[in-house]
Chains A and B, each alone.
Chain A
């Protein structure tokens, strides 16, 4: 009898302990007004177990670094705040993304989301956040449609495909002297939008599109496509899509005897592209990416030092620095809002309005360059850099023109 009671009490204790630690102390959040700082959660929405996981996991690293530094800084503690990252795995899939968005939106302490990676996920997720007045800053979704929905809570720190595609076409014709191209996209909003923006400008520059193909972002067999492409003998292939399928296309194209390089957008700009395609096959391939190279920027070096300290042996993926900046924009806005409405009210509807207003008014210098938003929520920093694979590494080929 007594042992049974002991057992019950013990299991109850264990359960309580598990709940309070496992959920990151969700019970303490808004209710603890007098003692300790107010906990504010920042959602990180990214593909972690499927899709472009190297980019997604990089986003988590970048944002968590920003949050860790913020919690250690005096401005945040003086404002009476403590930030907690909550990551959600959207698997690069719109349906899963909406589920993640709803989970984030149901948490009363969550006021901002750093994400998502894929435009196809960001667009439906942004509507869920709009309903709860959660500010969303994407570090990586480049489809122009995202910020053209008329939602006041949606921002991004990367420039759009409407800028990136034409810039890539200009590099291809003016700098690299290419005349014919085979355009392939992965049928996602990102890939299609980028490939179309590229093809339009390439044709306008006098280049010739010798063929186009639609594939899926889950394809791994491109042999039939390569055979078809080979007969049109293009100077190079332009691929709208991310590295996991893009690297296989690059590899199979080289194996199949296509001489020209593969070029793509920011979705290819990741060390994993080279690892998957093979250093020899990827040699000479190109990718454009948003902004200036991190190591060329004054604050970039500090970021890389802090990054290497927290994640030894890890190279930043394409969007780690953008995620770091996006998280910092949210943090700065929450701190501002805490000053005007009070730390205990930041998670209230008034606080949320204030945060969105403060993000829109952002004017700061991040590690990726100056950050400010236009009336749609797009970054005013429109630089595009060209990178190429050389000796198994991405190197800067040309700075923004």
Chain B
């Protein structure tokens, strides 16, 4: 019984972690799907999302800002006063951060990747690493090298208890938000006009262009949606762990990239599945083997999957065109 509870508790930790990985992994997979390029700046967009989110949240709730700008005081009282207020506050935080980071993604695509679209594949890759370093250092200089505490307005309330395992409201919200966003994106890609255009672009960019699809717009859309979802993960990451720092993107970015590859890069459902598999494996590994080995186990799973299913869990093996 004790063991069953422990496994359940670790599964819940893993699902929460997996939700975050899945949200970030979608950004990698969307860009890879459409451009066959790995956007190494994505982990920094995830980090930027957390910083923009913290900025907006501070503006909406901090008492020192209300003292400087009394105009904001009544709005702040509403945003911190009740559960409804907190809900609206968080909605604004998430939407603004998604918008800002989404636009950052589009700008990066326009200036760092589009000029290199017809260059050899290595060029945009290097450009992406450059953007990643640029964003990290920009935040380092503008904000600080220090870890910054991130408030959790949702608190540590318990949503429900299974056996002796308490599941916090925050964990439920992270999971539900991730699932809603993932389903919404899946529906958008499979059924909407823009989604179909994106899929066509990803299948054959030139033919799609000849058929009258605006391929630049499709690519832009991928570069908006991916980072916007990354921003959501960034804010949740801050609330869940309690602090953010300029280089926080690196490890989750690497894990999410692993998740995307694990699920079959370019495949949306694969990215979600990969995220959850990786999160759960990591939590079980830290719970039952050793915390020190969690990264080793995560990457060992990746290697095993790639040996036996080179295309990833849900990926199709692509026949090389001759």
Cβ of A187 and Cβ of B292 under 8 Å apart? yes
Cβ of B292 and Cβ of A49 under 8 Å apart? no
Which residue from chain B places its CB closest to the CB of A91 in the assembled complex? Answer: B145
Digitize A27-51: 1 where CB-to-B-CB distance is under 8 Å, 0 elsewhere: 0000000000000000000001110
Say how far B184's CB is from chain A's closest CB, in angstroms. 26
Which residue from chain A places its CB closest to the CB of B242 in the assembled complex? Answer: A251
Cβ of A257 and Cβ of B166 under 8 Å apart? yes
Chain A residues contacting B294 (CB-CB under 8 Å) are 224
Once A227-B6, A275-B149 are accepted as A-B contacts, the answer to whether A213 and B291 lie under 8 Å apart by CB is: yes
Cβ of A223 and Cβ of B247 under 8 Å apart? no
- Number of A-B residue pairs, CB cutoff 8 Å, is 84
Q: Tell me the B1-46 residues at the A interface (CB within 8 Å).
A: 2, 5-6, 9-10, 13-14, 16-17
Q: Tell me the B275-301 residues at the A interface (CB within 8 Å).
A: 282-284, 286-288, 290-292, 294-295
B138 within 8 A of A: no
Cβ of A248 and Cβ of B243 under 8 Å apart? yes
B251 within 8 A of A: yes
A301 within 8 A of B: no
**Out of B17, B156, B247, B292, which one reaches A221, CB within 8 Å?**
B17
B95 within 8 A of A: no
B67 within 8 A of A: no
Digitize B142-182: 1 where CB-to-A-CB distance is under 8 Å, 0 elsewhere: 00111101000000100000000010100000000000000
How distant is the Cα of A213 from the Cα of B13 in the complex, in angstroms? 18
**Out of A227, A252, A275, which one reaches B10, CB within 8 Å?**
A227
B88 within 8 A of A: no
How distant is the Cα of A225 from the Cα of B10 in the complex, in angstroms? 9
Cβ of A255 and Cβ of B292 under 8 Å apart? no
How distant is the Cα of A351 from the Cα of B168 in the complex, in angstroms? 64
Central interface residue in A228, A247, A272, by most chain B CB within 10 Å: A228
A179 within 8 A of B: no
Say how far A266's CB is from chain B's closest CB, in angstroms. 18
B241 within 8 A of A: yes
15 example contacts (A-B, Cβ-Cβ < 8 A) are as follows A48-B145, A216-B292, A220-B241, A222-B291, A224-B14, A224-B286, A224-B287, A224-B291, A228-B6, A244-B245, A248-B241, A248-B242, A252-B241, A255-B168, A257-B166
The residues of A with any CB-CB pair to B shorter than 8 Å are: 48-50, 53-54, 187, 213-216, 218-225, 227-228, 231, 244, 247-248, 251-252, 255, 257, 272, 275-278
